[in-house]
Structure formats: C-alpha cells, structure tokens
Amino acid sequence: MWSLVVFFVVYVFTQSQCTLNVIKERNKLIEKELTMMVGSAIKLSDSELKANEIIMKLKNDEIEHGFIHPNQFNPSKHFFEYKDKVKKTELFQIIRSMPKGAILHAHDTGLLSPDYVLALTYWKNLWFCWTEDKSNIDFHFSKTIPVNPCATEWKLMDKARNASGDVAKFDADLRKHFTIVIDNPHEVYTDVNAVWEKFQQCFINTGNLFNYKPVYEQYYYDTLLELRKDQVMYLEIRSILPKLYDLDGNVYDILETAVTYKRVTEKFMKDYPDFFGAKLIYAPSKLVDKPTFHEYVRIALLINALMPEFLVGFDLVGQEDLGVPLREFIHELAEVRENLDLFLNAGETNWYGTTSDENLFDAIVLNAKRIGHAFALIKHPILMEEVKKRKIGLEMNVVSNSVLKLVEDPRNHPLATFLSQDMPVLISSDDPGIWEALPMSHDFYVTFVAVASRHADLKLLKQLALNSLYYSSYPEKHKLVHAFEIRWTKFIDAIVKDKW
C-alpha cells in the first residue's frame, strides 16, 4: 500500500517537474526571441513604463477582440474599409500624438488628400478638359483658352461648376480623379497592374494642376504643414522635378523646380522653427531608355553642384515589375554614386528570381544608403545579412504595400520578420494622400497593431521613430535626436496624465 502511495507521489512530482521544465524552456525561448526584436535594447523609464501599460492595454484589447472575432479585426480588411474607423480609437489617437521622427520615403504630389486637391480646383483661371469617355481629365491655368491639345474642349472650371446645376455632385465626380479609394476595391483592383494603372493615372490627372508654379509652391508648403501636424519633424522628399509654368505661359526648367523646393523649405522653417526642414531626392521615372537616363545623370550632377547641401540622393520611381531593371543602369548609377547617395526602390514585388526581385542585389552592391520597400528581401537570407552588416536602412511602407496589392493582410507583411530580427527598418508612407491616409499615423498604427508581435510595445514605437532619424541624411543627427527626446518626454507625460 505504502509503496503505491510513494510511487504515486514520486510520479506526480516527476511529472510536475517535467512540466515546469518545459514551461521554463518555453518561456526562455520566448524571452530570447523578444530580445532580438527591434527596440529590445531600449530601457524604459518609470514614466514610460506607466505609459506603456496604457498603450499595451489598448493594443491587447484590439488584438484580443480580433482574435475572438476575426471578421471584426480592422487591419484584416481592406484599408479603405477601416482607414476612417480606426481614427476614432483611443490607441490611434495616442499614436497620432506620438513624435514620429522623419519621413524618408514619400513622393512629391502624393502626400495630401483628394479633398485638398479638390480645393485647388477653386483657384482662378483654371481650365479643364475631359477625355472623350470622361474617364480622365487634364488641367491648365491660363488667362485665355489653353493652346494645349484637348480631346474634347477646354472649359473654364468656375463656369462649368456653376453651370452644372449640382455643385456637390460635380465636385464629388471630380474628386474621384484624385484618389484610388473606391467602395469595391476587390472587384475593381483585381491585380497589381489594375491598381497601379489607377494609381499612376491620379498623378497624370493632376500633373498640370500641380505644375502651375503658385500651386506647386503652396502644395509643398501645405505638405510640410500636414507633416508637422502629424508629429513629423523632418522630411526627405522624392520628386521627379517637373517643369513648372506660370499664368503668362512661362515654363521653368528643372533647376528652378529644385530651387523652389529649397526656397519653400526655408520659408516654412522660418515660419515654424520647430520643424527641422527637408532634403530633396531626385527620383525620375525608371521606365526609360539609356539616353534619357544619361540626361537624368546630367541633371542630378548639375543640381548637386548648385545645392549640394539640399539635394541628398537619387532614386528611380514607377511600377517595379514593368520598369527597366537596375542592372541596365549599373554604370550610370555608379557614376551618380560618386557624388550622391543612392536611395533605391528595389524588391517592391511578389515575384521571386525575376528582374524586379533581383533589383535588390543591384541596390546592395551599388552601396545604396537605403532601400525603398524591400518587400521581397525576406526571400534572400544572404541579402538580409548584407543589409544588417552594411547598415542599409529599409524604408517600409505597410499601407502602400497593402493598397497596391503586394499583401492582402498586413499581418503577413515581411516587415513582421524584419522587426523580429532587429533589421534596420524605418516606417514611412509613400503616397498617403492617394489612399486618404494621414502622413504617418496610419502606417505606425497598422505596423504596431497588425504587423508587429502582440508583445511589441512602446520600445518598438520609439525605436522605429529613432531609426528614421538615424538613417536620415540630416547632417547633425544628434540635434534631431535631442529634439526628439524632448518631444518624446512630453508625449509620455501627456499619456500618463491623460492629456494627450
């Protein structure tokens, strides 16, 4: 009898000890993995720990609800369905008030909302012209009927609007040409090419609207204003540098466009001394031939000679799968690299082993300082090692990759792996105005709630913001970081005191 009792006790003890050992090993593995995550090296202060409790309670509530009710987890839906809903959440409001560092991957005329663009059509002396099927539109500012070719007929905007009989409907129809947001994106945007066609058409539609010199200057100034409102302190803006024109028909060259950026930036910094300014990345189209690319190089070197402290880099833009591979321009890019840093879009594709995928190899061997998107990098372990070794910043644009059909659900975004392995990532937003997102808040929110681990906390948010400063081209990064730390402290105090 006693032998059975002893056996039972020993058995229970052994089993319990075995279970404890398993649990201990499990927890040890989880803890080890967490120490590899972006932000893991940050030590939170007492105030930050209190703020972190508040933030993590809100984050876990959203995730837990989504885990139990998967169909109600906002980021699992199309961005167009939840972009406005999440603005009302307490967590989003906190993230919106959070200092976000810098935007290092954004395109000139894709940053402000379609409502802002619509308001520009109320400017005087604006003419417009429909294509024959009214699917697209062109604009031109002029004192008289424009001489530019028109498929139908030029009409003065204010007269056409007033004669429409329904101004609200007229404006609503016009607004559709400034956004890719629609009610049924899964039905209309059936593949990458379909959504990119609409996306690029937005830029074509607004080209001559924005290229009116007074509009271009106002748009850029207001872009900086919106960034500042979204708690961004510095910008590196990619621009194709279009030729601008004025009401008298004068056309200004690309150099003047670059000078315009510098002049408006200086004016904005004078008006708002707490903003740390902007730098320019010349980023023309990648869908070109060799002679055109040689002209790009000439322009880049000319602008660099004129304003070396303002022009900081070079890139190529456009749909990567349809663009000319970087390897075709290796010689020319190497020439540019002698004078300018390269910030190259590469790997913005779902394909593996194709030219667009292998642009990543070229970007790395060309010693790019940062890589835009790098979506396909996850498939290349050797390149991931090189990125970490060479400290190449990865400009991640989660919302952009979602709406442009690279990933349906941001929980499956490669950024999740990059975050788990402390890759040199930073968050940016690409063209948020085109899909009606805020300059940075939506991308930070989606990254925090849907992409990152449930365990990822305030340390991750802080590190991502700091990374955008570390990988910037700002010449005195210590000043940026110091200013950020002051703003961060105020942000934390506001959360703790419930005054954010």
The residues annotated as belonging to the active site are 348, 373
Beta carbons of 227 and 101 less than 8 angstroms apart = no
Between CA 408 and CA 186 the distance in angstroms is 10
| 3-state secondary structure labels for all residues of the chain | CHHHHHHHHHHHHHHHHHHHHHHHHHHHHHHHHHCCCCCCCCCCCHHHHHHHHHHHHHHHHHHHHHHHCHHHCHHHCCHHHHCCCHHHCHHHHHHHHCCCCEEEEEECCCCCCHHHHHHHCCCCCEEEEECCCCCCEEEEECCCCCCCCCCCCCEEHHHHHHHCCCHHHHHHHHHHHHCCCCCCHHHHCCCHHHHHHHHHHHHHHHHHHHCEHHHHHHHHHHHHHHHHHCCCCEEEEEECCCCEECCCCCEECHHHHHHHHHHHHHHHHHHCCCCCCEEEEECCECCCCHHHHHHHHHHHHHHHHHCCCCEEEECCECCHHHCCCHHHHHHHHHHHHCCCEEEEEECCCCCCCCHHHHHHHHHHHCCCCEEEECHHHHHCHHHHHHHHHHCCEEEECHHHHHHCCCCCCHHHCCHHHHHHCCCCEEECCECHHHHCCCCCHHHHHHHHHHHCCCCCCHHHHHHHHHHHHHCCCCCCHHHHHHHHHHHHHHHHHHHHCCCC
